[in-house]
Amino acid sequence: MNDDQSGSTDASQGNWLERIGRALGGQEPRDREGLIQILRGAHNRSILDADALSMCEGVLHVAELQARDVMIPRSKVSLLRRSESVWDLLPTIIESGHSRFPVTGDSRDDVIGILIAKDLLPYLDPQHQREFHLRELLRPALFIPESKRLDALLKLFQESRNHLAIVVDEYGGLAGIVTIEDVIEQIVGEIDDEHDLDETSWILNRTEDGRTVVKALTPIDTFNEHFGTRFSDEEFDTIGGLVANGFGHVPRRGEHLLLDDLRFDVVRADSRRVHLLMVTPQPGAGTSVDGDDDV
């Protein structure tokens, strides 16, 4: 039985490699953009389906992104303060619905470890109360700089078996967190679960140079309130719909559009719709559309 499974796996790998080989068609791309164009041509010839193309582009795109581009910023991180009582920790855990939490000591910058929520379960049985020592439950925290590339971070997650990394700024302070899900989503697209709160997390991140990552499903009125714009919501409900209309087609990753002094870079998209946009102020830029470009 194992031999049969092995043979099936080898056949699948062979088919995949053959499809990639046919996609390249003997061509030698000079750079990343050349490779993407070849892969898109293969998709047009039905050698690669839309999902395979999207994942290939995602893998290439991950190598260009850094932790600062996808991290959950400090202001939105659910932190647990060091406590001697398990009951002091529960309100934050229940309200956020997360499974892993950075635990801080004397200040928000003093991350002393990671708590996995399920490790508290044995201490919540009133019939069998156990002595609680939080430090004994903490897992070591993985610290990374804001400049950490996502491809290297994914490998680090695999090697260290961590699911969450603490992003620190140049002074060693807490800048935010990145989860393994945040990295994988750059390859396979959005992974929603029952705890994702769309209505409170449209604006995902803002960098020091003014760039802001927003979800394409952000309601236009919410976008206007955040950026001080006056886009009309009579024809489109979301900023993604407005931007796609400006392109005149479903844009691909890397394309950008200028609207009312704002540059919209497509950070993530598939063959059906846009998922994430990078918004950058461009005073006096006017309105225009451009093709593939590095975000």
Blockwise average pLDDT, block size 10, the chain, 295 residues? 43 51 60 76 77 76 85 90 84 83 92 93 75 91 94 92 93 92 80 48 65 87 91 90 90 87 86 83 64 47
Decide: helix, strand or coil at residue 79. coil
Radius of gyration of the chain (CA): 22
Q: Which position has the token pair 């996808």? A: 70
What residue spans in the chain does CATH classification 3.10.580.10 cover? 69-184
Residue 174 has a pLDDT of: 94
Residue 95 has a pLDDT of: 76
Please tell me the pTM assigned to this model.
0.56
Decide: helix, strand or coil at residue 161. coil
> For residues 247, 252, 255 and 257, what is the CA-based torsion angle, rounded to 10 degrees?
30
Residue (of 235, 185, 196, 239) closest to 215 by Cα position: 239
Residue 285 has a pLDDT of: 56
Do 265 and 253 meet the contact criterion of CB atoms below 8 Å apart? no
**The amino acid at 99:** S
Do 92 and 77 meet the contact criterion of CB atoms below 8 Å apart? no
Domain boundaries 69-184, corresponding CATH code: 3.10.580.10
Residue 8 has a pLDDT of: 43
Residue 263 has a pLDDT of: 93
Phi, psi values for residue 271, rounded to 5°: -75, -10
Distance (Å, rounded) from C-alpha 158 to C-alpha 161?
A: 5
Do 242 and 211 meet the contact criterion of CB atoms below 8 Å apart? no
What residue spans in the chain does CATH classification 3.30.465.10 cover? 197-292
Name the fold adopted by 197-292.
3.30.465
